[in-house]
Structure formats: structure tokens, C-alpha cells
């Protein structure tokens, strides 16, 4: 194959997208451990040295993947609410739990974002990532301010922080490895891991109640 250097910004972005798309397939099939530049080169037309021109580590690719998944989740979340309709907290809890359960890869990556991913990227990549994430946070702030107009901005900000923090905490409990499952089954007969969507809906409902009623806990 006659490989050509990317010269325009469009060509560069196209290559970055191809690398991220390949990484998403590899991650979905084998998880974090399976992802590396050698594997990505098998799924693309790029050699490892070429991939290094765009990303220094696989974690920088995962930041791009998270931004893509976050955008998809925000789009699904926004489209789930109709204009000028009043929603009960039960309905909001159902929509949140449903859309987040559909965004399982995003939630899974969030569980290692602060402990692994962010510690293995350049400052420039991290600044770009957080800048876009703060933009998404503004979209969520506007959405929940409309859904719960009685809540203060401080309460709404806190809720948005809790929204994903709760998912990050619950997700690993609901998705055990074989070793984890076998270990807990040795202690409790017929153990069944909790269902993420159901568990999240139950917990986020209680937090939504505080938001709706502007209950502030110092």
C-alpha cells in the first residue's frame, strides 16, 4: 500500500477518528488490557510509529473515546425529554438509569478515569479533555435547571457531580469478573449480582427527591 502523509487538518482528523474507532472495537472485545498500539495497527492502515504521531499513550486514545461516548450519551439523554412536559422524579430516574445503562462503556471507562487514564496522558491532552467535559457539564446544568427550577444552582451542580459518581461506584458491583463472582459465591450460596439499571434507578431517585425539594445537606 502506498502510504501518504496526512497534510490537511481534515486528513489528520480522519486518521485520529480511524485510530479511535479501531480502539473502540478492540476495547469492546478485550477490555483495557487488550488495547495497545500494536493491536490498533492491525485494525488500521497505520504502523505503530505513525500512531505515536497522534497519541503518546493508549490512555490518550481512551480520552477521545470517552468524549465521543459522552457526546452520544448527552444526545440520547436530551432527546429523551420533551419540551414543555413536566416530569416526575420517578420518570427522570428511569430516563437516567436507562440512558446510562445504554452507555455502559462510558461508565466503565469512568471507573478508571482518575486512577489510571488521567495519570498516563500529557497535560495538553488532559486539558483538552476536561475543557470539552466542562462543556458537557454546562449542557447538563441547563437541562436539570429546567427540570427542577426550584433547585439552586449549587444544588444542581452537586447533583450533576453525583449523577456520574453514583454510576462509577455502582457499576463495578454489578459487573464482576469470574474470580470476583466465584469468591463471593463461596461465601453466599446462589449469589446474583445486582442489576445496574435497577440499582442506579433506586439510588438516584432518592437524590432527585432532594433536588426537587431543594433539600441541602451540609
- Per-residue pLDDT of 6-28, as tens digits, reads 568 898 999 999 999 999 999 99
The model's pTM is 0.91
Query: Predicted confidence band at 101 (pLDDT cuts at 50, 70, 90)?
Result: very high
Domains of the chain (ranges; CATH) run 1-55 (1.10.10), 57-212 (1.10.357.10)
pLDDT at position 217 is 63
pLDDT at position 42 is 96
DSSP annotation of 119 reads: G
Do residues 144 and 160 make contact, with C-beta atoms less than 8 angstroms apart? yes
pLDDT at position 1 is 44
- Per-residue pLDDT of 141-198, as tens digits, reads 999 999 999 888 888 999 999 999 999 999 999 999 999 999 999 999 999 999 999 9
Phi, psi of 191 (to 5 degrees): -70, 135
Do residues 138 and 160 make contact, with C-beta atoms less than 8 angstroms apart? no
Residue 2 reports pLDDT greater than 60: no
Amino acid at each position: 500500500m502506498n502510504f501518504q502523509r496526512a497534510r490537511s487538518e481534515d486528513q489528520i482528523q480522519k486518521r485520529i477518528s480511524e485510530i479511535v474507532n479501531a480502539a473502540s472495537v478492540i476495547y469492546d472485545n478485550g477490555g483495557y488490557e487488550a488495547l495497545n498500539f500494536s493491536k490498533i495497527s492491525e485494525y488500521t492502515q497505520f504502523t505503530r510509529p505513525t500512531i505515536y504521531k497522534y497519541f503518546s499513550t493508549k490512555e490518550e486514545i481512551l480520552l477521545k473515546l470517552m468524549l465521543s461516548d459522552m457526546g452520544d450519551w448527552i444526545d440520547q439523554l436530551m432527546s429523551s425529554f420533551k419540551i414543555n412536559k413536566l416530569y416526575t422524579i420517578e420518570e427522570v430516574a428511569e430516563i437516567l438509569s436507562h440512558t446510562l445503562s445504554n452507555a455502559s462503556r462510558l461508565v466503565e471507562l469512568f471507573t478508571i478515569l482518575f486512577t489510571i487514564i488521567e495519570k498516563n496522558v500529557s497535560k495538553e491532552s488532559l486539558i483538552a479533555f476536561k475543557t470539552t467535559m466542562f462543556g458537557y457539564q454546562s449542557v447538563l446544568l441547563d437541562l436539570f435547571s429546567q427540570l427542577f427550577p426550584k433547585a439552586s444552582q449549587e444544588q444542581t451542580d452537586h447533583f450533576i457531580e453525583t449523577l456520574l459518581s453514583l454510576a462509577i461506584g455502582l457499576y463495578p458491583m454489578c459487573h464482576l469478573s469470574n474470580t470476583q463472582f466465584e469468591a463471593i459465591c463461596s461465601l453466599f450460596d446462589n449469589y446474583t449480582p445486582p442489576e445496574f439499571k435497577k440499582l442506579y434507578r433506586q439510588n438516584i431517585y432518592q437524590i432527585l427527591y432532594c433536588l426537587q425539594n431543594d433539600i441541602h445537606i451540609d
